[in-house]
Amino acid sequence: MKAVILVGGEGTRLRPLTCNTPKAIVPVLNRPFLEHLILYLKKHRITEVILAMGYLPDPIQDCLGDGSQLGAQVRYVVEDSPLGTAGAVKNAESYLDEPFIIFNGDILTEIDLTAMIKRHQETRPKASIALTPVDNPTIYGVVETNARGMVRRFVEKPGWDEVTTNMINAGIYILEPEILAQIPITTRSMFEHNIFPSLLDNGEPILGYSSDAYWIDIGTPEKYLKAHHDLLLNQGNGHIQTEGKSQIHQTAIIEGPVLIAEGCAIAEDTRIKGPTVLGPRCRVNNGAIIEGGVLWNGVNVGKMAELKNCVVGSGSQIQERCHIPEGCVLGDNVRVEPGLVMANATRVEPDTCFG
C-alpha cells in the first residue's frame, strides 16, 4: 500500500520554529520529523511514499532525496496554490490506482497501521478514519460510530451537553481510489469538511478505527516540546545518549533522559537534567543549567544561564546569567543579552536581539 503524506502547510502554529524550516523536517530527537514518520510507515511494510507539498518544498526534497537512505521510495508532488487536504491528494492522483493511506504530516503516533489496514480490507468501506480519544472533545470535531465501528456522523466542536463520544479524527485515512473522482480538480477541498460528510450523505460506508495508542499532533511549540519529553521518557529516566564525539567536563552533572548530538561542548559545573535534547555543536558554558530543554543546532548557552522547558532555534546565543523560563520558544539566530526578564511562554522570531 502506498502512503500520501500531507506536508503542504506553512506550519504557522509552530512559529517561530518554522520561519526558516518547514514543519515536516523540524528536528525531533535530532532527526528530521519526516524520517520518524517514514520509518514508522516502513515498520508497517509501507515503503512507497508520496509527499504532497506546497510551502518550502525544496528543503524537504534536499533532506530526504529519493528516500533510499531510509529504505523507502519517496516521490514528490507540489501544489501551485493551497488545495486543502483532499485537493492535495487529488494532485497526486496519477500515483494512486489502488487503496492507499493518507497521513497528516505533523502526527507522531504508535497506532497499529497493520491492524487498521487489515480491518479496512475485511470491512471494505469507501474510507477508513483512525480515531483517537481526547480529554476535552468540545474543542475538536468528534466522530460518532455505531456498535460495528461504522461512522454515523461528524460533530464539530460539540457543547458538553452534546458530547456522545471523545473520539476525534486522528489524521490517518485509508481510501479506495474511486473516491478521487469525487474531489474537484485544482479547487481547495478538505476531507474533514467536504469529502467525508458528502460520502455519509450519499450512504457510502466509512469505518472508524478507534485506538488508544500514543498519538500527538506536534503542530504547536507546546506539543512539539511535549513530544520530545514523551519520547525521551519512554526510553527510561536514566538514559543518556551521545551521538558521536562531544567534550563533556568531568564536573558536569547530567541526569537522564538526555540526548547529546555530535560536536557539543559541555563545560565545568554545568547541570543538564532530562528530558533534554542538545542538537549538534551546542555549547553549554560554565555553571549553566538546562532542564527539559530542546536546543537545535549550534546554540550557545552562556555562563550561569538557566533554561527550563523551552525550545531554542539554531544558532541562538543565550548570554551569561540569562533566564529562559518555562514555555519560551526562540527562533533561529536569536541573541538574548544579560538583564533581560523574559515571561513564560514568550515566542521570539528569528534574527532578533534582546538586551
For position 285, which CATH number holds?
2.160.10.10
Strands (DSSP E) found in 158-257: 167-175, 206-210, 215-217, 240-242, 247-248, 253-255
On whether both 107 and 144 belong to a single domain, the answer is: yes
In this model, does residue 336 exceed pLDDT 80?
Answer: yes
What is the rounded average pLDDT of the residues 304-311? 95
On whether both 203 and 299 belong to a single domain, the answer is: no
On whether both 184 and 275 belong to a single domain, the answer is: no
Last residue of a domain, one of 190, 219, 248: 219
On whether both 205 and 236 belong to a single domain, the answer is: no
On whether both 191 and 256 belong to a single domain, the answer is: no
On whether both 215 and 232 belong to a single domain, the answer is: no
Residue 341: band (very low, low, confident or very high) from pLDDT cuts 50, 70, 90 = low
On whether both 193 and 331 belong to a single domain, the answer is: no
For position 43, which CATH number holds?
3.90.550.10
In this model, does residue 289 exceed pLDDT 90?
Answer: yes
Residue 10: band (very low, low, confident or very high) from pLDDT cuts 50, 70, 90 = confident
Question: Is the pTM for the entire model greater than 0.85?
Answer: yes
Last residue of a domain, one of 191, 219, 247: 219
Last residue of a domain, one of 219, 239, 259: 219
Looking at the chain, the whole-number percentage of residues with pLDDT higher than 70 is 97
158-167, 259-268, 316-325: range with lowest mean pLDDT: 158-167
Q: Tell me the residue type at 123.
A: T
Between the two ends of the chain, the Cα-to-Cα distance in Å is 54
On whether both 193 and 258 belong to a single domain, the answer is: no
- Tally of domains within the chain: 2
Q: What is the pLDDT of residue 159?
A: 79
Residue 187: band (very low, low, confident or very high) from pLDDT cuts 50, 70, 90 = confident
State the DSSP string of 78-138: E-SS--HHHHHHHTTGGG-SS-EEEEETTEEE---HHHHHHHHHHH--SEEEEEEE-S-GG
More reliable by pLDDT, 162 or 292: 292
CA gap 282, 246 in Å, rounded:
10
On whether both 258 and 282 belong to a single domain, the answer is: yes
On whether both 281 and 201 belong to a single domain, the answer is: no
- Domain extent, residue 241, equals 227-354
On whether both 128 and 176 belong to a single domain, the answer is: yes
Q: Helix count (H) and strand count (E) of the chain?
A: 6, 32
For the segment 126-184, what is each residue's pLDDT rounded down to a tens digit?
Answer: 999 999 998 888 877 789 899 899 999 888 777 788 788 889 889 999 999 999 998 98
36-45, 118-127, 153-162, 264-273: range with lowest mean pLDDT: 153-162
On whether both 97 and 240 belong to a single domain, the answer is: no
Q: What is the pLDDT of residue 340?
A: 67
